[in-house]
Amino acid sequence: MNGRQTTISSYDELITWLFAYSFIYAFFHILPPFLNFEIKNLMMIADVFDILTPYAMVFTIYRIYLMLLPHVRIDSSFPVKSVAVIILIFGAVSFVEGHGMHLSANAIARHLTPMKDSSLFALDYSFDEIMGHIFWDTGIVMLSLGIILVGFNIDPKKLSGPKNALIILASLIYGFTYFVNAVEGQSVFCTLPLAVIIPLAIWGTAHRKRIRISRNPVLSLFLLSYIAALVFFLIWGIWQKGFPEFSALGWI
């Protein structure tokens, strides 16, 4: 009886951490544009705040990975842990690389505003808005894929109503953040297709393996997250007849 209670309790804690990851993702990616107050030499409060983003994201996802390990089925013939670690490492490196590239190039761009027609500004723009966001978003997706892989190999548990509600809320937060990041980062060309492919892959694999997604907090979170992101993409694309940046519309 005590072992069963411990297992259920640990699953409840896992759901709390999954929610925390979604919240941290939103908090550190949506708040900085609203902190554009200069400290000195065009360095903004947002720049200092944004330095914390990779630490919060990577350490939280690593914590979730460690929490999932005790639940991995021992009868799995696939080297789940090893492959997941490789995906998570590459995802973390890509995310940190892209984030750092964007953060520094974005700060430099403020000093190049009078030189918008120069090759120097174009080069900085490439690192900031193109390469930086591609690496950044690729890292985010890879971090989710590493956790999803482990999620396919954990035992299902019946979740309580409040915990299911927390998963749904977390998925909406994650999906919205993924959407706004892609639109403002001009990476819709790659993030939108992934918002279609990943849910289909999760559902198809779960169906083939006869996994009940509703009893798996990891699969539930990311399936609903990418579906939510897809819905936001469709609404925005139809409404705006394209995917203009929020800043281009004067929203931020």
Distance between CA 158 and CA 170 in Å, rounded?
A: 18
Q: In degrees, to the nearest 5, what angle opens at C-alpha 174 toward C-alphas 85 and 67?
A: 40
Q: Is 118 helix (H, G, I), strand (E, B) or coil?
A: coil
Q: Which residues contact 48 (CB under 8 A, 6 or more apart)?
A: 39
Q: Which residues contact 159 (CB under 8 A, 6 or more apart)?
A: 11, 15, 167, 214, 215, 217
- Quote the pLDDT of residue 6: 39
Mean pLDDT in each 10-residue stretch from start to end of the chain (252 residues)?
45 90 94 85 87 93 91 72 93 94 90 87 88 92 95 81 90 97 91 96 93 91 97 96 88 76
